[in-house]
Amino acid sequence: MTPADSSKPQESRGREAATRARKESVLKAALECFVEKGIEHTTIHQIQARANCSIGSLYHHFGSKEGIAEELFLEGVQQQNAALLREIRSAGNAEEGVHAVVGAYCDWSTGNRQLASYLHSRDIDFSGQARSRLREIHQLYIREVFIWFAPFVERGEMRALPLETYVPLISGPIQEYIRRWLSGHHPGSPEEVKALFAEAAWSAVKA
Amino acid sequence: MTPADSSKPQESRGREAATRARKESVLKAALECFVEKGIEHTTIHQIQARANCSIGSLYHHFGSKEGIAEELFLEGVQQQNAALLREIRSAGNAEEGVHAVVGAYCDWSTGNRQLASYLHSRDIDFSGQARSRLREIHQLYIREVFIWFAPFVERGEMRALPLETYVPLISGPIQEYIRRWLSGHHPGSPEEVKALFAEAAWSAVKA
DNA sequence: TTTTTTACTAGAACAAAGTTCTATATTAAG
DNA sequence: CTTAATATAGAACTTTGTTCTAGTAAAAAA
């Protein structure tokens, strides 16, 4: 490959930057392929072609096809979590907090459709390492959310429920709606029903 | 293979029965493998070995590995839908109907853990044909459910909402809970929280 | 600057797994 | 009994993910 390749925008601006750019171009190419054709039906060669890089380069950076799928997933989850946390923290009370969770999930998903679709994939064959990393990321996120909501439960503004029921009660409906919407199963836009789902969520957990 | 093989229980009792038995033994073997290792990491040879059949036989009956995955999925969905419909129809009013949906989903999933796990798979690369068959099955089921609930909406006992929001509102939370429970993400048993989810569902759609 | 080391790129060679193909056996029908 | 259709078997083939060896470019050391 010639050095003047398009995937190296910041020519010789340090190797790290170039590496990061390359990795991102691969992740971008992979995301497009995965969403279009599914992970299994995407070949390494297709990713390679779209990202303008060689097999060697691909394996050097990611180790395997699953490595790409994993990194993409973890990055996506973190991005989504960050977006949700930001919104939650700007809420002033429990009800606003619940609305923030539902609303932010909805907004992020409509604003990042490809990544959102990808995050709905199950069956990504995570390595043990990636699996535990994912758990860790999830725990960290959940912990933050619960710390934010805990005071309202203590003050009796929210119901005290088994911990593992809050996420399904609050996020379950919007998640299911968005999943169906993303896969083109039905018409109607999330924007129109956002409030409805937020209210349902709130009434499920309010005291 | 010898004719006295264990996978042909009803020796020479008509070919159809034998064929059905063989196909079922394959589906059973495949389900176990898929749930244990995931679809992609299950090889044809593993299925073949567990089902005690040859490659030729496998491809004769199912056409491909995906063919097996598809048939298993469709069969599972139909079985689940039938179980839910049965429960719904035995309900006497809208509230009981909603409780039936949530309760039956919960019961069926705990009573058919492997199949339930499998049905939570996304990314089964359905062929166009299987995809439309799945749509058809789903439409048929949804239609039945809506026919059952429609009178209650008309009578004003249930809210009139955008059609595509009912399923997420009623089934979203329990589905998400069960999904997490099946993948061993949390303790607590579905039985303990069934009522909670049913009540939340009802309060989301009651007038 | 020159040398040396490290990170990265490249693609041919390899191996694993899904699928096809040909041959054979079994059952049902004429 | 012969014939046709269905089912089973496994070897051969093909696709595709991965490894391996070689080479290049950038940073570090001399």
pLDDT at B206 over 50: yes
- The alpha-carbon gap from A177 to the nearest alpha carbon of chain B, in Å, equals 6
Average the pLDDT over B58-80 and give the result: 96
| Nearby residues of B71 by Cβ (< 8 Å), 6 or more positions away | B27, B62
Tell if B23 CB is < 7 Å from nucleic strand D.
no
pLDDT at A18 over 90: no
B101 touches chain A (CB under 8 A): no
pLDDT-based confidence at residue B13 (cuts at 50, 70, 90): low
Structure tokens at B127: 């062929």
Which residue of chain A has the CA closest to B204? Answer: A200
Structure tokens at A105: 């999930």
In CATH terms, is domain B1-63 a member of 1.10.3470?
A: no
Which residue of chain B has the CA closest to A192? Answer: B162
Average the pLDDT over B32-47 and give the result: 95
- The alpha-carbon gap from B49 to the nearest alpha carbon of chain A, in Å, equals 23
Q: What percent of chain B has pLDDT over 90?
A: 83
Average the pLDDT over B74-98 and give the result: 97
Structure tokens at B111: 């009573």
Tell if B5 CB is < 7 Å from nucleic strand D.
yes
B184 touches chain A (CB under 8 A): no
A134 touches chain B (CB under 8 A): no
Q: How far apart are CA B100 and CA B152, in angstroms?
A: 15
Residue whose CA is minimally distant from D6 C1': B15
Q: Considering only CB atoms, which chain B residues are within 8 Å of A185?
A: 164
- Per residue in B90-138, pLDDT tens? 999 999 999 999 999 999 999 999 999 999 998 788 888 999 999 999 9
Residue whose CA is minimally distant from D22 C1': A56
Q: Considering only CB atoms, which chain B residues are within 8 Å of A41?
A: 125
Contact A122 B120 (CB under 8 A): yes
* pLDDT confidence of residue A186: 84
- Give the CATH class of B65-205: mainly alpha
Q: Between the CA of B14 and the C1' of D2, what is the distance in angstroms?
A: 21
* pLDDT confidence of residue A9: 38
A 75-94: CB under 8 A from B: none
For the purposes of burial, counting CB atoms within 10 Å of the CB of B128, is it exposed (0-12), middle (13-18) or buried (19 or more)?
A: exposed
pLDDT at B5 over 50: no
User: Between residues B169 and A5, which one has the greater pLDDT?
Assistant: B169
Q: Between the CA of A17 and the C1' of C13, what is the distance in angstroms?
A: 32
- Count CB neighbours of A184 within 10 A: 7
Q: What angle do CA B29, B121, B182 make, to 5 degrees?
A: 85
User: Between residues B49 and A185, which one has the greater pLDDT?
Assistant: B49
> A48 with A54: CB under 8 angstroms?
yes
pLDDT-based confidence at residue A4 (cuts at 50, 70, 90): very low
In chain B, list all ranges with CATH 1.10.10: 1-63
Contact A172 B173 (CB under 8 A): yes
Task: List for chain B the helix, strand, coil content (%; round to 5).
Answer: 75, 0, 25
Torsion angles phi and psi, residue B36, rounded to 5: -70, -50
pLDDT at A10 over 50: no
In chain A, list all ranges with CATH 1.10.10: 8-63
Domain A8-63 fold? Arc Repressor Mutant, subunit A (1.10.10)
Mean pLDDT, all residues of chain A:
91
pLDDT at A69 over 70: yes
* pLDDT confidence of residue A13: 56
B16 touches chain A (CB under 8 A): no
Mean pLDDT, all residues of chain B:
91
In chain A, list all ranges with CATH 1.10.357.10: 65-205
- The alpha-carbon gap from A151 to the nearest alpha carbon of chain B, in Å, equals 22
pLDDT at B9 over 60: no
Average the pLDDT over B177-201 and give the result: 94
Tell if B20 CB is < 7 Å from nucleic strand D.
no
Lowest mean pLDDT among B61-75, B122-136, B157-171: B122-136
Residue whose CA is minimally distant from D15 C1': A43
